[in-house]
Structure 1
Amino acid sequence: MMNGQGRVHPGTAAPAEERRCSWLNIWVFLIFALAIKAAFLTICLVVLLWHSSEQPRALQQQFSEWKCDSAVPQGTDRGWMCCPEGWRRFQRSCYFLSLDQMNWAESEQSCTGMGSQLVVINSKAEQEFLSKQIKQYPQRENFYIGLFEVKEGQWQWVDKTLYNVTAAFWRKGEPNNGLDENCTVIHNLEKTLNNWIDIPSHNKHHRICEAAAVIV
């Protein structure tokens, strides 16, 4: 209730305009707080990706869009594995299957330029995964991998991983050591896991790049 001078006596209700302003201030504060929280979470994710020790920064600098999924065993201090958008993840690695074709040296440089390398196949499970991936649309015939011949009969992976002939997946009769056939492709038309072929390095084919998944 107001007195003759327009003041509100103690104990009387505040005008409706003041109550509306109070609620408006609360909503503005809540929206502002939510915006700050969202920005903070975004910054945290970027920082975690940047500082992750499992992946060279070169890969992270090349891509702004990432796909993450919860795949790390329970009990670890990090819970997400991330690959660049468009790459395919298997276990702790990310794989890029190119649409364009290059010779072997250009393929190696292209992978390196993305912070990755031509794929190094370490297990039957990885070979099975890649053999399924290359058969998916769009269909492509041959894919360079990171195995090359240093000298006659001596094969080596690009990351210096020890080449184990008993864990190789050559097509029957390969490597046949044909003229200048010193690089390796996975051949898509094979129906078995044994689909590696040695070919000349100047031939242009697709490629598979591999990089460690980012764990955050």
Structure 2
Amino acid sequence: MASEITYAEVKFKNESPAPVVKGLPKKKKPEQHPQKYPLWLPWLISLLLLLVCIALVVVLLERGWTCCPKGWRRFQGSCYFLSLDRMNCAESAQNCTGMGSQLVVINSKAEQEFLSKQKTQSVRRDNVYIGLFEEKVGQWQWADKTPYNVTAAFWRKEEPSPGHENCTVMHVPEGNLYNWNNVKPDTMHHRICEAAAVIV
């Protein structure tokens, strides 16, 4: 007896199995903590810090830092050099110009007060040239051509005296604000040079 072979026709359907849908993990609810400050407070602090920074930048840009060369003294927007040596009037003016400055031009009572107090231990300065000259008899002129104002002048009593004294000195030992004296241009005195302070 011969063995029989039985064939069976098997058909597979090309179907993917039904997807298994898993549920999304449940989110944990954040723990509720009582709020210690209002929500707008960090914004307010940030805004205030920003305004402070802007104000500082504006102030620094407008004013800047004022610097003077070594050995010069600063007052307001100017630098002042008090000489250690003596020269005549023309040499004093020329020396200041050579340093990129000029003999001092006094514009205010505050500046006069500042300069009247300038003394050093090493050099005794009795008289110092300032930048006021008599161009013609009775016509005084500042070195930078600033108009001369007699009501803002600080002459000693009985000064300026008439004659050939067409340069001006500040008599430092005077002890008060009114210490200007006119002198002959060939007399040897110390000088005060003035230059604008450098703003950085």
TM-score, normalised to structure 2, is 0.69
Counterpart in the other structure of 1:48: none
SS at match of 2:195: strand
Which deviations, in whole Å up to 9, do the C-alpha atoms of 1:94-121 show, x marking residues without a partner?
0000010001100000000000000000
- Determine the C-alpha separation between the residues in 2 that align with 1:186 and 1:92: 21
Counterpart in the other structure of 2:150: 165
Counterpart in the other structure of 2:66: 81
1:1-216, aligned counterparts within 5 Å?
Answer: 75-77=59-61, 79-133=64-118, 135-137=119-121, 138-178=123-163, 180-216=164-200
The letter for the 2-side match of 1:90 is F
TM-score, normalised to structure 1, is 0.64
- Determine the C-alpha separation between the residues in 2 that align with 1:191 and 1:74: 41
SS at match of 2:173: coil
The letter for the 1-side match of 2:159 is E
The letter for the 2-side match of 1:93 is S
The letter for the 2-side match of 1:140 is R
Cα drift, residue 76 of structure 1: 3.5
- Rate the CA distance shift 1:113–1:192 in 2: closer, same or farther, 3 A: same
The letter for the 2-side match of 1:157 is W
Cα drift, residue 79 of structure 1: 2.9
- Determine the C-alpha separation between the residues in 1 that align with 2:97 and 2:82: 14
SS at match of 1:181: coil
- Determine the C-alpha separation between the residues in 1 that align with 2:86 and 2:98: 16
- Determine the C-alpha separation between the residues in 2 that align with 1:118 and 1:82: 19
The letter for the 1-side match of 2:156 is R
The letter for the 2-side match of 1:185 is V
CA RMSD of aligned residues (A): 1.7
Greater Rg, structure 1 or structure 2? Answer: 2
Q: Structure 2: any 5+ residue segments left out of the alignment? A: 1-56
Identity of aligned residues (%): 72
Cα drift, residue 163 of structure 1: 0.2
SS at match of 1:125: helix
- Determine the C-alpha separation between the residues in 1 that align with 2:71 and 2:109: 24
- Runs of 4+ deviating beyond 6 Å: none
How many pairs align?
A: 143
Cα drift, residue 74 of structure 1: 6.3
Greater share of helix: 1
- Determine the C-alpha separation between the residues in 2 that align with 1:80 and 1:191: 32
